Structure 1
Amino acid sequence: MIVGMPWTLPTVPASAGALVFDEQGRLLVLKPTYKSGWTVPGGVMEADGESPWDACRREVFEETGLRVTRGRLACVDTRPAKKDRQLGLRFLFDCGAVDAGAIARIRLQREEISDYRFVPPARALTLLRPAVRRRVAAAVDSEHCVYLENGRRVRGLR
């Protein structure tokens, strides 16, 4: 608590993920070793002041060996608090397409990722875990950043 202030500033856990495509428009999905289902590259932001964009680039590199250097913020999702976890923020960046040479150099972080695929976005939605699926579905075809709460659009916001 800050001296003289009657409240505590919030600490909100946040993560950042990436939409990475191949030249045919297929989405990169990863199979984590530590949970069921598939996901997109990404992970928790470091508590040392790392920004969402820095976390996105770091996580993509750590998990796949790919270096993303450009992108756009595609989605911000507020994950609701539950009994055993606090509210969290999820940032999703559209990092565009990588070429065949970059794909040939993919090296998975074997401790966390067992497999990867490039699949059409519609197919990806059948593989992704529910929360990630909703986020990706909202962001993948949007030209602008979308704001979500629990993966769903908020009434009254465009």
Structure 2
Amino acid sequence: MSGTWLPPEQYIATLPKATVYGCFFVTDQDDRPIQLRAAHNPAVWQWPGGNLDDPDETPWGCAVRECMEETGLRIADTPRLLAVHFLPPLGDWTTHKIGFVFDGGQLDHDQIDRIVLDPDEHTEVAVRPLEEWRTEMGAFSFRRLAAVAEARRSGSVCYLEQSPTS
């Protein structure tokens, strides 16, 4: 920009656009990650969550809503951030994407058995040790999974960027 002041609505029109998502990282009681197989692409494993649908929705509110829609469970009552994830526009997705990964805690066997999937979104629930997920996921997706698991283990928060070549 040239330093010329613009009214907010004009300035905002010049900025890159982004979508925002909220999701939960969840494990069983043995710290094995729980993931959902995407219905639209069986090679993709996801955490319960999705994109903000409403201008008044927050990443936390989105994660809670989407988890209920996708699993039938409310798994957490207090936000505990594990990761922020940034993705540039990739392929057909023409905006940046910013994700907030919250700690969904550990589910016991009864809770896992009560998961009811939305068949339009997911076809399978899987619980596996972290290293077994490596063969099921792309390299960046597995790095994200491992980084988030480490953030939870260490009590820290991680920041992840995905480049067009990751």
Q: Does the alignment reach a TM-score above 0.5?
A: yes
Distance 1:40 1:127 in 2: 14
1:31 is matched with 37
State the TM-score, normalizing by the size of structure 1: 0.82
Structure 1: state its 5+ residue gaps: 152-158
2:57 is matched with 50
Query: For residues 28 and 15 of structure 1, do their structure 2 counterparts lie closer, same or farther at Cα, with a shift above 3 Å needed?
Result: same
- Kindly indicate whether the alpha-carbon contact (under 8 Å) linking 1:108 and 1:115 is maintained by their aligned counterparts in 2: yes
Distance 1:54 1:125 in 2: 30
State the structure with more CA Rg. 2
Distance 1:139 1:51 in 2: 20
- For these two proteins, the number of residue pairs brought into alignment is 149
2:7 is matched with 4
2:87 is matched with 79
1:147 aligns with 2:159: yes
1:155 is matched with none
Runs of 4+ in 1 over 4 A off after TM superposition: none
Partner of 1:110, secondary structure, is coil
1:92 is matched with 101
Query: For residues 61 and 126 of structure 1, do their structure 2 counterparts lie closer, same or farther at Cα, with a shift above 3 Å needed?
Result: farther
Q: 1:135 Cα shift?
A: 1.9
RMSD (Å) for aligned C-alpha atoms: 2.1
Q: 1:52 Cα shift?
A: 0.8
Sequence identity percentage: 29
Distance 2:42 2:112 in 1: 24
2:3 is matched with none
1:61 aligns with 2:64: no
- Structure number with the higher helix fraction is 2
Structure 2: state its 5+ residue gaps: 1-5
